[in-house]
Amino acid sequence: MVDRMKKLEQEKKEILQKVAELQQQGEELKEKQKLSEKSATLSLEKIQELENIVQEMERQNERLDEENNLHAISFDKERASTAKHEDMISEMDKTIEKNTTQDALSKV
């Protein structure tokens, strides 16, 4: 009977030790879960921040595309205007040359 009591006390001690270990593991798991949730929250915040940056970069890219298109249109207009002026200068040069030739011939 004494042996049985000692055996039961030993089993009780082992069970209490196992319960303590399980409680410790439970606490550790809760702490890991908290850290994991915090990490997940931080990751989600970082993802949102990066998405906002991407959206802003896309808006800036669109603005730059629009500006580039406006510059291209302006450049094309300036090129056409320059070509027109060069044609006018060429025509004036021909007219001046023709008049100079006619003046020289009329003096002869």
Q: Is the pLDDT of residue 103 over 90?
A: no
Tokens of 18: 């196992």
Tokens of 38: 């915090």
Tokens of 99: 């008049």
For 39, 69, 99, 101, the CA distances from 87, given in Å and listed in that order, are: 70, 27, 18, 21
Which DSSP string do the residues of 27-56 spell out, in sequence order?
HHHHHHHHHHHHHHHHHHHHHHHHHHHHHH
Q: Is the pLDDT of residue 40 over 70?
A: yes
The reported pLDDT for the residue numbered 108 is 65
User: How high is the mean pLDDT of the chain?
Assistant: 94
The count of domains in the chain is: 1
State the amino acid at position 63 in one-letter form. Answer: R
Per-residue pLDDT reduced to its tens digit, 3-20: 888 899 999 999 999 999
Domain span holding position 87 = 1-108
